[in-house]
């Protein structure tokens, strides 16, 4: 339920607000509307697959490959968001602190999704020899920083 709320609602809200506000702040068009659309579709598919993978894991104690694919889609969507934000801010010639906050937030969000993907991968095919909850703390703290900058 947490991932449905955070990814399915909050992250889509962040993407939408970023894509709406960035052209206003930068006084330029968005770097790529196609990237924005693809990032939304990947986030939607990824959230659905990841949440279904978590549900499947609670029933059979095995994290499925398609849940891992969902995590990869989410990470890829965050990377596309970073590319779009960086491209839009680079096109702007005027300095703005708001641009830096949005770019920093996008980078923290991408780091958060990378940590989450690595955790999902560990659920599918355990490779972390230590307690994976240490990486879970990193995942949560990075998400808090991403939210702080928004």
Nearest to 81 by CA among 60, 59, 108, 56: 108
> Where in the sequence is the domain holding 108, given as residue range(s)?
2-149
Name the residue with higher pLDDT: 57 or 71. 71
Element (H, E) at 138: helix 133-149
21-25 average pLDDT score: 91
Q: In percent, how much of the chain has pLDDT > 70?
A: 82
Number of domains in the chain: 1
Q: Is the pLDDT of residue 147 over 60?
A: no
pLDDT tens string 86-103? 999 998 878 888 888 889
Strands (E), 49-94: none
Split at pLDDT 50, 70, 90, the class of 108 is: confident
pTM (2 decimals)?
Answer: 0.84
Integer Cα distance of 13 and 45 in angstroms: 16
Find tokens 């990193």 and name the residue: 138
pLDDT value, residue 2 = 66
The pLDDT of residue 42 is 96
pLDDT (average), residues 16-30: 91
The model's confidence at residue 130, banded by pLDDT at 50, 70 and 90, is confident
Cα Rg of the chain, angstroms: 16
């Amino acid at each position: 339920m947490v991932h449905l709320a955070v990814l399915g609602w909050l992250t889509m809200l962040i993407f939408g607000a970023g894509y709406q506000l960035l052209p206003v702040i930068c006084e330029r068009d968005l770097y790529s509307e196609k990237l924005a659309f693809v990032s939304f579709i990947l986030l939607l598919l990824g959230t659905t697959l990841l949440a279904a993978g978590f549900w499947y894991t609670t029933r059979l104690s095995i994290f499925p490959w398609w849940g891992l694919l969902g995590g990869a889609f989410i990470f890829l969507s965050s990377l596309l968001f970073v590319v779009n934000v960086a491209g839009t801010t680079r096109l702007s010639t005027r300095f703005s602190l708001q641009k830096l906050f949005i770019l920093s937030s996008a980078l923290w969000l991408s780091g958060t999704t990378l940590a989450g993907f690595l955790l999902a991968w560990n659920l599918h095919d355990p490779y972390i020899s230590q307690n994976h909850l240490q990486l879970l703390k990193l995942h949560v703290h990075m998400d808090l920083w991403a939210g702080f900058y928004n």
